[in-house]
Amino acid sequence: MTNQLDPALRAAIGRIARVPQLLVATDYDGVLAPIVEDPNKAVPLPEAVAAIRALAALPQTTVAVVSGRALRDLATLSRLPSEVHLVGSHGSEFDVGFVESLDESLVELHGRLLAELRAITRNKFGVRLEAKPASIAVHTRSAPRDVAFSVIEAIRSGPATWPDVTVTQGKEVIELAVITNKNKGTAVDALRTQQSASAVLFMGDDVTDENAFKVLHGPDVGIKVGPGETAAQYRVAEPIEAVRALALLLETRRHWLFGERAVPIERHSMLSDGHTVALVTPDARVTWLCQPWPDSSAIFADLLGGAPAGHFSVSPAGNGPGAQAGGERPGRLPLGQRYRPGTMTVETRWSGLTVTDWLEPPADPTTDRSTLVRVLTGTARARLEFAPRPEFGQVSIRLQPLGDGVLVLGANEPIALLAPGVEWDIVSDGSQETARAEVDLAALGGSLTLELRFGTDSIEPSALPVGQRQAAAEQPWQDWSAKLRLPRLARDQVLRSALTLRGLCHAPTGGILAAATSSLPEELGGVRNWDYRYCWLRDGAMTARALVDVGSLDEAEAFLRWVDTVVERTGGHPEWLHPLYTLNGEELGPEAVIDTLPGYAGSRPVRVGNAANRQLQLDVFGPVADLLAAVTDARGSVREEEWRVIEAMVQAVERRWHEPDHGIWEDRLPPRHHVYSKVMCWLTVDRALYVSGKHGRGEPPEWVQLRDRIGANVLEYGWHDGVGAYTVAYGESEMDAASLWVGLSGLLPDDDPRFLATVLRVEAELRSGPVVYRYHWDDGLPGREGGFHLCTAWLIEAYLRTGRRGDAEELFEQMRKTAGPTGLLPEQYDPLAERGLGNHPQAYSHLGLIRAALLLDAA
C-alpha cells in the first residue's frame, strides 16, 4: 500500500505529480526487476510493468528506462510498450541505428577491447562478458571473490588505462566504453531537453545511477533503492517499495490530470454578497472563491486544480457501523442542498449536521473585506479542512493557529479564519500548509460558526450574534425578491435566475459578470476553456434588461453609469470600445495560461484573461441601446448620462457598421460580415430612434436614414438563396442560431416568409432535443461544444412569434430540466451525456430562461 511510504517521500511525489510536463526515469535491474544471480532471468515485477505502462499512457508524461544493459537486451527482457523510452548502455544507446553512427576508429577500438577482455576472463569461473555496441561489461556477480578481484585488477591495470576508453564501475560489474561523456546523467538531461520536461523523477539502485541523481535539480526527485551512499534525496529499501512509489505517482498524477472529483458543473451553488462570489459543491466544499473581486485571483481553485489548488471543506466525521479505522466513512452523501428562500444563502444537510453558508458584505462598502460565514449546527462530529491557496495556488503560505483562529501568512493581503473552540492540526506538504480539525457539535452546544475574513488579521469575536448577522445579510435579498414582478409560469425558477443575475452584479462598480468562473470547459478534456469573470457590454446589458423585465431598475441604472464611464475613456471615439472590460472598467491584460492547474476534469488550459478583448464585435452596441429603451420606458424619463450613452452607441454604429467583425461568438477567425452583428447595428439605431422620439427629441433624419440603410443591407446580403435562410455571414452557407434575431429584433415581421424559413432551418440543423447549438461550422478550434442555453431561449421565442406555442412550451420545459438541483445553469448542456458544460452560473443562460418564461406567461 502506498501509505507505507515515508511521509516526506509521499509529499515529494505529491508535488512532482502536479508539474505540467513530467519525465519519469528508472534503472531496470534493482528497481523494476529484483537482482538475481543470472542476469538473463531478471524479470520485472508485474506491478512495476503495470505502473510503468499506465504512467506512459498519461498525457504530458514521459517514461524512460535507463539501464546499463545493451539496448537490444533491455528491449527483449523488459518487453515494455513502445510508449516507454528505452536507453541502454548507461545512456549511450538511444536508438537502433547507434552502431552505424560510430566512427570507424571507435569500431576498431571496440574490437581490440573485446579481444583483450576475452583474454583476461578466459577460464575464469563465474565471470561473464556482455558485449554492447559501444562498450563491454564484465559481470563478476557469480564468480568467487578471489577470481572477481583478480579479474577487476587485471582490467584496471590493463585496458582500463587505454586512451579513449571510459570506465564505469557498478555493483559487481565493470564496464569499458569507447565513447566519452556518456552516462545516465547525460541520458536524463538529454531526455529532459527532448521532452521539455518541467521536472524529473529518477529511481536507481546502482553506483552508476549516481550520475543521474547528481544532475537532478529544482523540483526534481531522486529515489535511491537499497543501501549505500547516494546523492538522491529519498530512499526506499527494495524494488517493491519502488513500485509503491510509482503507484502513488500514477494515482496522484491521474487525479491531477483528469480531475479528482469532477462534480457536475450544474450541481455547484453560488454564494454572492454583491462584492465577490463563491461556489459550493453539493457536499459543502467551497471550491471557488476569488478575492477581493470576482475577477481577482482565486484563493480557492479546487474547481480547476483539485485539492492542491485550495478548498474549504466541512463534512460529517465517520462514526457507527461502517466507519473505518481513520474515522471517516467514505461516500456519505448529504440529504440535500438548497437555497434559503429569496436569498443567496445555501444550506447543506446531513443527518445530524447542517452547514449554512453565505458571503457577508463589508460593513464599510468602500472596502473589499467580504467574509465567508459557515455555520455548523447539529449534534454530529464534523471534519474541517481549511486549505487556502492564494493566487491560484502559486503562492506558498503558512498557517498560524492563534487563539480562536488561524492566520494565513504569506498572502498579498491579510486573511484570518475565526473558529472558536477548534483545535487545528497544521500539516505541510513541503510548500503549502493545511489546517485540519474534528469537532463535536454536541459538546459545543450544537453550533459552531466559522468566519473566513479577508482584508484583516483580526480574530476578535463579532459584536453581533450570528443569527442577527445572517438576517442582516439575507434581508436585502429578500426585500429585493419581494418587489419583483414574476410570471406564474416557473415562478420559483425565474426567481432563482433573477437572484443569480443580481448575484453576478458588482455593487462597487456597476459592472456585471458574464459568469462566476474561468475555464470550465465547453467540452470535457478539451481546450475550449475561457475566462468569463469580466464585464462584456453585450452580456451586461442583456442581464440588466432581464432584471428590468422583472421589475428591478437599480442594476440597469448602475450598469449604464458604468458604460458611460467606459465610453468617456474612449475620448470621443465610442467605436473603439472593446467587447469586454474588467469590473472596474479597465482594459484587460493579455490572456495567460496557468499551466500548473490541470483544469476541471483534466480540461486544459486554464486561462486568465480573455483575448476576445481585442476583437471587433459590432453587435455590442445593440443590447446597450435595447436596455436604454427598456429603462426609459420603465422610468418614464431619460437621464443626461443615458443620452450620452445612446448617442455614443449610434455614433459608433455610424462609423463602423459596414466593417467585417468577429461576431457575438468571438470565433478566432478572420473578420466576416456577420448577419447578427449587422442586425444589432440596425437595432442600435432603431432603439435610439424610439427613445429619442418618445422623450421629446424627435427622430433625427440622419438616424432614420442610417437605420434604413443598415436594414436594407442585411436583408439583401444576409440571405442565402442556396440555403433558403439567413446564415452566419454574408455569402456563407453555414447556419448560426444568432441569425434568428433577424426576426426577434423586429427587423422582419413575425409572419415574413424569410423569418419563418430561418426558424425552420435553425431547428433542423442546430436543435438536438432540449438544446440548440450556436453553430456547427469550423471555428478554428479543435473539438466540439454543448448546446447553448441562450440559443435555446431564442428558439423558444421564435416558436412563439411564429405561432408554435406548443413547441415553445415543450422546449421550455426541457430547458428547465437541465438546471442543477438548486436551479443554476452553466453556459451549455450536453444532451448525450446529460450534464452541464461551460462557465457557471452563466448570465446568458439565466436571462434566457427569464425572457422565455415571461414571453410564455404573457402569450
- Residues annotated as catalytic are 27
Place of cell 436594407: 712
d(CA 562, CA 509): 7
Residues belonging to the chain: 859
How far is residue 758 CA from its own chain's centroid?
37
346: part of which helix (H) or strand (E)? strand 346-350
Q: Is 761 helix (H, G, I), strand (E, B) or coil?
A: helix
Contacts of residue 645, Cβ cutoff 8 Å, sequence gap at least 6: 560, 563, 564, 567, 624, 628
Contact 386, 312 (CB under 8 A): yes
d(CA 376, CA 357): 9
Q: What is the 3-state secondary structure (H, E, C) of 797-854?
A: HHHHHCCCHHHHHHHHHHHHCCCCCCCCCCCEEECCCCEEECCCCEHHHHHHHHHHHH
Counts for the chain of helices (H) and strands (E), in that order: 22, 37
Does residue 159 have a cis peptide bond before it, meaning omega lies within 30 degrees of 0?
Answer: no
d(CA 649, CA 684): 7
Which three cell numbers mark 377?
A: 449546527
Q: How is 244-301 classified by DSSP, letter by letter?
A: HHHHHHHHHHHHHHH-SS---GGG-EEEE-SS-EEEE-TTSEEEEEESSSTTS-EEE-
Contact 49, 248 (CB under 8 A): no
Q: Is 450 helix (H, G, I), strand (E, B) or coil?
A: strand
Q: What is the side-by-side order of every strand in the sheet holding 199-204?
A: 85-87, 61-66, 22-26, 199-204, 221-225, 234-236
d(CA 38, CA 15): 38
Contact 729, 673 (CB under 8 A): yes
Could you give the angle at the alpha carbon of 344 between the alpha carbons of 479 and 588, nearest 5°? 110
Burial class (CB in 10 A: 0-12, 13-18, 19+), 124: middle
> Sign of dihedral through CA atoms 300, 305, 309, 314?
positive
How far is residue 807 CA from its own chain's centroid?
37
- Of 597, 742, 595, nearest to 674 by C-alpha is 742
Q: How far apart are the first and last CA of the chain?
A: 65
